Each structure stands twice: as structure tokens, then as C-alpha cells.
Amino acid sequence: MADLLFLGAGIDLRSERGVSCPGDLPPVSDAELVERAHIARAALGERAYILGHHYQRDEVIAFADVTGDSFKLAQAAAGRPESEFIIFCGVHFMAESADILTSDSQKVILPDLAAGCSMADMATHAQVEDAWDSLKALNVAEKTIPVTYMNSSAAIKAFTGRNGGTVCTSSNAKTALKWAFDGGEKVLFLPDQHLGRNTAVREMGFSLDDCAIFDPWKPQGGLTDAEITAAKMLLWKGHCSVHGRFTLASVNEIRDRIPDVNILVHPECPYEVAEAADYVGSTERIIKIIEGAPSGSSWAIGTELNLVKRLAHANPDKNIHFLDKSVCYCSTMNRIDLPHLVGAMEALVLGRVVNQITVDPITSKEARTALDRMLSLA
């Protein structure tokens, strides 16, 4: 059995050993609820298609027809036109993207409407429009290409679409930025500063001095005219509440404790963490690296804990550790649990559509423009 330990504390998270910790999720739902889930799923048949993000609980993943990152799941939804219902076990912006990419006859369901994304919420449409006005006032907007991370609202994707920009994922951020710099002199990168900085500096040869943080809560982003004019990358002051927790101290501590450990982190981690890591990659790349790693190798992974636990159980020949001193679940992603999934499915069986996510036609069209630009970059 693979080792899955908290950094420093050495707490074993595996319930089969009877060890508990204050940060563990509640136990798997009772047998009656699981049976209800199976009955509802069978009743819906091919009318429903269930998407499960990698960060979801195991009890939810067990009922997913496909698992993946946000864009892979949105693409999977678009490739399933015969399904009347797309049940998206993820967060709000993911369900929005699925609605944009699917047909008007399909209905996208989010089992819990409270499942949002703190990063996406860090860039509101009004704030981004104000920022753009600041760039216009300095006559630099026409030289600037907006690039928004997939982890953003439909309104931000629409802003990007109508202003000549594109969307990116953690897998293709470098490709998107190369495209943007072919068409402009600078990039406004939304809403995750860490992905933007890590991509520009670590992968494209920019310097840290080429990057400036645009703080939406300060006039003109808290930047001088000269700072905005000089910056190649205007990085929105946003971050992932999960990946932002990982620190250089965490990396150093586990290297001291496990000298042969490989550090593998997501590019949403802070720059100094990515610099100190052995490997940096998207969620899908993290999975592939672990699956292909030599038997007996040791790994400390800096990403959401549900995925790290699942990788440890799926790769018992490797020693897999969690790169943090404390539990690091995505609290909003974990709002999607089996009771909410069962409730949504049983309502659909009874002919009631609940928690449908819809994007208005104008926003959808403009956001689709940005998404199509990204697809064309492949």
C-alpha cells in the first residue's frame, strides 16, 4: 500500500488503518444512499451524462461517466449531444463552460449551486472592465491581449472574446501566451497570477521584472503609469486557495526528511514553489507522471488532496506524500457530495430539472469566441 503522509506531522490518511485526522472528509455515505444513487442513475440511462472533476470525492467519482480537468470535461459534454442532461460534478465556472459548448437542447446541472471557485470570484466583470478602462486611458489597451484562465466566469471569458483574447488551460498556457504575444506587446492575464508568472518566466524566458501585479481593489491596479507601460505581463491579483497554500518551507522540509523525494506541483502554486520543484504540470500531467513513475520512487505532490489520495491508492508501489502540513481539500469542490448528486438525479427521474446552469446568449456567443480561439491553437 502506498504511503500517503502529511508533511511534517507524519499523519497517515488511510482509513483502512483506522487512523483519523481532524481534516478528513466525512465517511462514505450510507449503503441506502448509495443504492438510491444506483437506482436513479439506471433510471436516467443515456439521458444523463455525469462528469466528475479530479478533485471530487471518491463517492462522487464512483458515479462519473468520465473524469478529468475542467476543459476536458467541458469537451466531453460537447461530444455527448445525445444526452439530455449533463450533470457536472465540479464548480460553477465549469458548468458554465459546458453550457456554452453544448447544444441549446441540453441542460447542464450543477448538483450544488453553492459549489463555486474562489479564484474565479477574484475577477468580477465590473473589475475587469475598470481595469481595461485604465489601460485605455494610458493608450496601452490596443497593444494588450487579454488571456483568461479556464478557471474564470463566463462573463470574463466573454470579455476576453470581444477584446481579441483567448482562454487557456494549465496545459496550454504557454501556447496561448505565444499566440497573444504574436498579436500584441503585452498580456493581461486573468485571474491566476501564479499560472501567468510561472508560464511567462519559467517557460518563456521573461523575467520577474517583466511581470506586474494588477490589484483590482486599488486605483489603476496599484500601479504607476510607468509600471503599466513597462510590464509585459499584467498579472491579475488572484490565486487558487488550494495551490496558494504550498510554500517553499514545505518543499525544504520534505526534502530534508525524504532525501530522494521527487517534488511534483501544479503551476497554480507560487513561483518559488514551482522553482524548487522537480516537476511542474497540469492535473492531467501530474496523473501521467505518477502513473509512469518507477516502482519504489517517492513523490510529494502539491495539488488538491482528493486527487493525491486517489493517486496513492491507485499506485501502491510508489511512496506518495502530500506537500503540506495540513489538509488541503478544495472546500467549494467538496460541496458536491453524494446526497446532492442523488437529489439532482432523483429530481430528473421525476421530471423536475433542478440547479440548471445557463449562460445568456450574448455572453455565451462572446465566450465561445474566446474558447474557439483556444481550440484553434491546438
Render pLDDT for 68-122 as a digit per residue (tens, 0 to 9). 887 788 889 889 999 999 999 988 988 999 999 999 999 999 999 988 888 889 9
Q: Where are the alpha helices (H) located in the chain, listed in sequence order?
A: 31-44, 58-61, 70-78, 92-101, 118-121, 125-137, 154-162, 173-183, 193-197, 204, 225-230, 248-257, 271-276, 283-291, 305-314, 338-349, 361-377
Say what the pTM is: 0.86
Q: How confident is the model at residue 21 (pLDDT cuts 50, 70, 90)?
A: very low
Helix, strand, coil fractions of the chain, as percent rounded to 5: 45, 15, 35
Q: What pLDDT, on a 0 to 100 scale, did the predictor assign at position 213?
A: 98
The CA distance from 53 to 366, in Å, is 25
Identify the architecture of domain 26-117+333-358 in CATH. Answer: 3-Layer(aba) Sandwich (3.40)
Q: What is the DSSP letter of 199?
A: I
Q: How confident is the model at residue 241 (pLDDT cuts 50, 70, 90)?
A: confident
Q: What pLDDT, on a 0 to 100 scale, did the predictor assign at position 317?
A: 96
Q: In Å, how far are 38, 127, 255, 358 from 260, measured between CA atoms? A: 44, 45, 7, 49
The CA distance from 342 to 332, in Å, is 18
Query: 123-238 maps to which CATH number?
Result: 3.40.50.10800
Q: How confident is the model at residue 181 (pLDDT cuts 50, 70, 90)?
A: very high
Q: Is the pLDDT of residue 193 over 90?
A: yes
Q: Is the pLDDT of residue 202 over 80?
A: yes
Does this chain's domain 26-117+333-358 share its CATH topology with 123-238? yes
**Cβ(303)–Cβ(286) under 8 Å?**
yes
Cell of 111: 448538483
Domain boundaries, the chain: 26-117+333-358, 123-238
Mean pLDDT of 341-368: 96
The CA distance from 124 to 338, in Å, is 30
Lateral strand order in the sheet of 166-168: 166-168, 144-149, 186-190, 233-236, 211-214
Lateral strand order in the sheet of 279-280: 279-280, 262-265, 298-302, 319-322
The CA distance from 354 to 317, in Å, is 43
